[in-house]
Amino acid sequence: DTGVSQDPRHKITKRGQNVTFRCDPISEHNRLYWYRQTLGQGPEFLTYFQNEAQLEKSRLLSDRFSAERPKGSFSTLEIQRTEQGDSAMYLCASSPQTLQGRNNEQFFGPGTRLTVL
Amino acid sequence: AQKVTQAQTEISVVEKEDVTLDCVYETRDTTYYLFWYKQPPSGELVFLIRRNSFDEQNEISGRYSWNFQKSTSSFNFTITASQVVDSAVYFCALSAGRQAAGNKLTFGGGTRVLVKP
């Protein structure tokens, strides 16, 4: 399977615990994005990487959230001291660097569903 | 800031009927891209179509067609001869600005389509 993969698919944790999610993008894609989707809503942008550089962070990304992409390949998203409001689907997407101004579509992974009790 | 509005929250049709999904967007950028994504019950977002702001030509791709009108800031999407497998949530999304903006997507709230046999 050469699509975007995410691990784990489901995570249940207690309030106050730390959680970490992993995303493996499509191998030749140098851009990687994280989004959060709550029930009944559209995905909301959290952050994005071009290679290993984190180029933009949303105001939604509080200081409890941190994302890394150390070698420009896979990425991790960590949430510290989880709160019940963090319960959501966390989506990862990747895309190739745009060529000739073309805004390439993003390919999404299956998501990690987080439930904070 | 960008904004995408999908006024229809749910549409129910009988198989073989056509379905048109409305999307209205807001952006101050003159360069932007519009997308439609499908999210079936499995949860993974699937890219359907893309259109850039410089090309208002409407096209048909199989059973999908779209109507892009800059004058009304609308990007409507039609499924012709709907099938049960088309049942999903459909999201309209916008990416605006220069390449350096990272092409993050701003999504609408989604329209749930239910196709009954």
Structure confidence by residue, pLDDT tens digits, B60-79: 778 999 999 999 999 999 99
List B residues 48-87 in contact with A (Cβ-Cβ < 8 A). Answer: 50, 52
Cβ of A41 and B109 within 8 Å? yes
Residue B66 tokens read as: 């779209």
Interface residue ranges in chain A relative to chain B, Cβ cutoff 8 Å: 31, 33, 35, 40-45, 48, 50, 55-56, 89, 91, 93, 95, 98, 101, 103-111, 113
In angstroms, the Cα distances linking B72 to A70, B7, B26, B69 are 44, 15, 10, 6
DSSP-derived 3-state class of residue A84: helix
> pLDDT tens digits, residue range A68-117?
999 889 999 999 999 999 999 999 999 887 665 566 789 999 999 999 99
Given this model, what pLDDT does residue B77 score? 94
Given this model, what pLDDT does residue B53 score? 84
Q: How far apart are CA B47 and CA B69, in angstroms?
A: 21
DSSP-derived 3-state class of residue B86: helix
B50 has a pLDDT exceeding 90: no
- Share the mean pLDDT of chain A: 92
* CB-based contact, B13 to chain A, within 8 Å: no
In angstroms, the Cα distances linking B47 to A58, A105, B36, B39, B44 are 23, 7, 6, 9, 10
Residue A9 tokens read as: 């698919």
